[in-house]
């Protein structure tokens, strides 16, 4: 049995009275012709005295956010998806019955208003109500005006209330699709084709991550939710599509923190006849295009730092970055025992599968370098052990042609000169299988169909994966991934809140 507050009981009684009077408390279609932001922008600079001679009308709809009820005339504010606008209503303009109907309204109700555009003596663009339409009765009150929904957990759980109360949340929610559309336009104009590939898969490939598992009843088959988009997109390169990308939901059964959500949006891009340098150029140009066309600026405050996307971005190898920080040059070290000894001296803990040259180099990078890469930096030259799908560097086969984009100490993109040698690819898969047997739960499976696809011939190519949520965090200047996801994954409530 639900328990209602006194205010909720009063609102429910008002809804019942509306029905008794022949008014649907939960409304019907309403044909509006204007939005709050457009009206205010159009008339903001019109002189107050000119409105007397104007006959400009508008029909708007939105949620009541403020009411100042007086005797025979009142002011209230409604909010639509573009913003808020003030309404003036008087018994002389709408009649006593309609005015009495308005007086039963509560903050949170949704109404329609048709009226004449005017400006108050204080200069505020206002609609003088000529027709008032009740649309929806809000049975729950909104949070207290000056505090809003301040509990972050509740903001994420009740995103609908957060969007009503917090302008910043609405701004981010509307900006996200604009950024994604800008990305799509940018890639489409360069000849890329957007595609869709399966979310359900029987193999773990394309990334190092723990999966979510599910079951296909009809085939009695255990399956995974995809952890990456990579191998299917590269199959399309084999098929001759040459330049493809996908923006899609991806799932990794891992922890949650300000940078990670178990389900997230990833974009992967593959271009035949390109390479690592091509992916660097593509990435830098794409970020600058978003900054210019969507945001109108190139400097963003992100995770405590002012990030400047303008100019030429820094490019440095992993071993050079480590050498700069602590003086160890792993390029010149070939003995594994020396690497293990260095790890012990620097208090770096190694799991069994990590007692390899490449894993040790990566551990040093994560400990001493990663958080220091603040301005946009392409970090390249990763060890082969941590890059099973990447082409070997022709000058030093211990490393691969791969880069990660770091901004404000966090990875934002991961790119390869793609491995298209099927013999080498199978050897990499077999090495991953050996790591899985040694306890690496994030190691890849062997995808023999993909190996066979490479045997038909995949053109030389560059490929890159972007965390779309982190990209949007940068451009909307948010510190948590939960602020750019409309419905982030949340723990179950221990106690139901009403």
Does residue 108 sit within a domain?
Answer: yes
Find, among 455, 435, 349, the residue nearest to 387 by Cα. 435
Q: Would the pTM of this model clear 0.85, i.e. be above it?
A: yes
Any domain includes 348: no
- What are the φ/ψ torsions at residue 297 (nearest 5 degrees)? -160, 165
337: exposed, middle or buried (C-beta count within 10 Å: 0-12, 13-18, 19+)?
Answer: exposed
Judge if 25 and 93 occupy the same domain: yes
Beta-carbon count within 10 A of 420 CB = 18
Could you tell me if 207 and 294 lie in one domain? yes
- CATH (domain of 115): 2.40.50.140
Q: Which domain holds residue 59?
A: 6-142
End residue of a domain, out of 89, 111, 142: 142
Report the domain count for the chain: 2
With the CA atoms of 67, 69, 74 and 80 taken in that order, what torsion angle do they form, in degrees rounded to the nearest 10?
10
Rounded Cα–Cα distance for residues 73 and 88 (Å): 7
The answer to whether 270 touches 418, Cβ cutoff 8 Å, is yes
pLDDT tens profile 69-115: 888 999 999 999 999 999 999 999 999 999 999 999 999 999 999 99
Report which of 334, 474, 368, 458 is spatially closest to residue 411, judged by C-alpha positions: 474
- Is there a single domain that holds both residue 88 and residue 18? yes
Is position 341 within any domain? no
Residue 108 per-residue DSSP state:
T
User: In 137-286, which ranges are E strands?
Assistant: 193-194, 200-201, 213-216, 221-225, 243-251, 263-272
Identify whether residues 50 and 199 lie together within a single domain: no
| Residues 296 and 385 grouped into a single domain | yes
Q: What is the pLDDT of residues 31-84, one digit of tens each?
A: 999 999 999 999 999 988 888 888 899 999 999 999 998 889 999 999 999 999
Distance, in Å, from the CA atom of 271 to the CA atom of 10, rounded to the nearest integer, reads: 62
Strand partners, 68: 75
Residues 402 and 272 grouped into a single domain? yes
**pLDDT tens, position by position, for the chain (498 residues)?**
789 999 999 999 999 999 999 999 999 999 999 999 999 999 999 988 888 888 899 999 999 999 998 889 999 999 999 999 999 999 999 999 999 999 999 999 999 999 999 999 899 999 999 999 999 999 999 987 555 566 788 889 999 999 999 999 999 999 999 999 999 999 999 999 999 999 999 988 877 788 999 999 999 999 999 999 999 999 999 999 999 999 999 999 988 889 999 999 999 999 999 999 999 999 999 999 999 999 999 999 999 999 999 999 999 999 999 999 999 999 999 899 999 999 999 999 999 889 999 999 999 999 999 999 999 999 999 999 888 778 889 899 999 999 999 999 999 999 999 999 999 999 988 888 887 787 776 677 889 999 999 999 999 999 999 999 999 999 999 999 999 999 999 887 765 444
Query: Of 142, 173, 193, which residue is a domain's last?
Result: 142
Domain final residue, candidates 90, 109, 142: 142
Q: Is residue 336 part of a domain?
A: no
- CATH for 291: 3.30.930.10
Name which of 200, 321, 217 is nearest 251 in CA terms: 200
For 95: left if phi > 0, alpha if psi spans -120 to 50, otherwise beta; the answer is left
For residues 386 and 260, membership in a common domain is answered with yes
Phi, psi angles (nearest 5°) of residue 286: -65, -45
Q: Are residues 240 and 275 in the same domain?
A: yes
Q: Encoding tokens for residue 257?
A: 């923190």
pLDDT at res. 498: 44
- The tokens for 420 are 């298209």
Q: Buried b vs exposed e over 51-63: b needs ≥16 C-beta within 10 Å?
A: beeeeeebbbbbb
- Domain-embedded: residue 456: yes
Angle at 264 between CA 349 and CA 149, to 5 degrees: 105
Residue 15 within any structural domain of the chain: yes
- Under DSSP, the state recorded for 301 is E
239 and 191 together in one domain: yes
Beta carbons of 348 and 359 less than 8 angstroms apart: no
208 and 277 share a domain?
Answer: yes
Domain presence at residue 232:
yes
Q: Which helix (H) or strand (E) holds 465?
A: strand 461-467
Q: Is residue 248 situated within a structural domain?
A: yes
182 plus 285 within the same structural domain: yes
Q: Annotate 176-210 with b (16+ C-beta within 10 A) or e (fewer).
A: beebbebbeebbeeeebeeeebeeebebbbbbbbe
257 and 391: one domain? Answer: yes
- Closest listed residue to residue 448, CA positions, set 231, 213, 250: 231
Asked if residue 36 lies in contact with residue 51, where contact means CB atoms within 8 angstroms, the answer is: no
């Amino acid at each position: 049995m639900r328990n209602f507050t006194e205010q909720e009981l009063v609102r429910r009684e008002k809804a019942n009275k509306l029905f008794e009077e022949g008014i649907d408390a939960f409304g019907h279609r309403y044909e509006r012709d204007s939005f709050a932001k457009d009206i205010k922008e159009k008339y903001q600079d019109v002189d107050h005295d000119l409105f007397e001679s104007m006959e400009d009308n508008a029909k708007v709809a939105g949620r009541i956010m403020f009411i100042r009820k007086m005797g025979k005339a009142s002011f209230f504010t409604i909010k639509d998806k573009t913003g808020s606008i003030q309404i003036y209503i008087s018994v002389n303009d709408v009649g006593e019955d309609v005015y009495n109907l308005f007086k039963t309204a509560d903050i949170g109700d949704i109404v329609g208003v048709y009226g004449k555009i005017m400006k108050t003596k204080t200069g505020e663009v206002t609609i003088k109500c000529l027709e008032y339409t009740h649309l929806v009765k809000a049975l729950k009150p909104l949070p207290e005006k000056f505090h809003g929904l301040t509990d972050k957990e509740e903001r994420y759980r009740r995103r609908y209330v957060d969007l009503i109360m917090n302008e910043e949340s609405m701004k981010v929610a509307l900006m996200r699709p604009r950024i994604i559309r800008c990305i799509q336009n940018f890639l489409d104009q360069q000849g890329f084709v957007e595609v869709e590939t399966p979310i359900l898969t029987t193999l773990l490939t394309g990334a190092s991550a723990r999966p979510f598992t599910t079951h296909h009843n009809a085939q009695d088959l255990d399956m995974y939710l995809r952890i990456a988009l990579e191998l299917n997109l590269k199959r399309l390169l084999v098929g001759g599509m040459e330049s493809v990308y996908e923006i899609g939901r991806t799932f990794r059964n891992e922890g949650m923190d300000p940078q990670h959500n178990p389900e997230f949006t990833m974009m992967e891009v593959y271009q035949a006849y390109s390479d690592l340098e091509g992916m660097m150029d593509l990435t830098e140009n794409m970020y600058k295009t978003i900054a210019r066309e969507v945001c109108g600026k190139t400097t963003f405050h992100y995770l405590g730092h002012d990030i400047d996307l303008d100019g030429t971005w820094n490019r440095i190898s992993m071993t050079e970055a480590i050498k700069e920080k602590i003086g160890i040059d792993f390029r010149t070290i070939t003995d594994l025992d020396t690497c293990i000894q260095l790890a012990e001296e620097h208090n770096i803990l190694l799991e069994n599968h990590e007692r390899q040259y490449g894993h040790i180099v990566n551990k040093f990078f994560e400990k001493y370098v990663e958080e220091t890469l603040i301005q946009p930096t392409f970090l390249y030259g990763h060890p082969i052990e941590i890059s099973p799908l990447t082409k070997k560097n022709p000058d030093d086969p211990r490393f691969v042609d791969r880069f990660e984009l770091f901004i404000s100490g966090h990875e934002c993109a991961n790119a390869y000169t793609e491995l298209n040698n099927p013999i080498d690819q199978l050897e990499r898969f077999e090495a991953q299988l050996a790591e899985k047997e040694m306890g690496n739960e994030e190691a890849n499976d062997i995808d023999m169909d993909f190996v066979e696809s490479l045997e038909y011939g995949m053109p030389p190519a560059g490929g890159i994966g972007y965390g779309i949520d982190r990209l949007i965090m940068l451009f909307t200047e948010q510190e948590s991934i939960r602020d750019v996801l409309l419905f982030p994954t949340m723990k179950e409530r221990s106690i139901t809140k009403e």
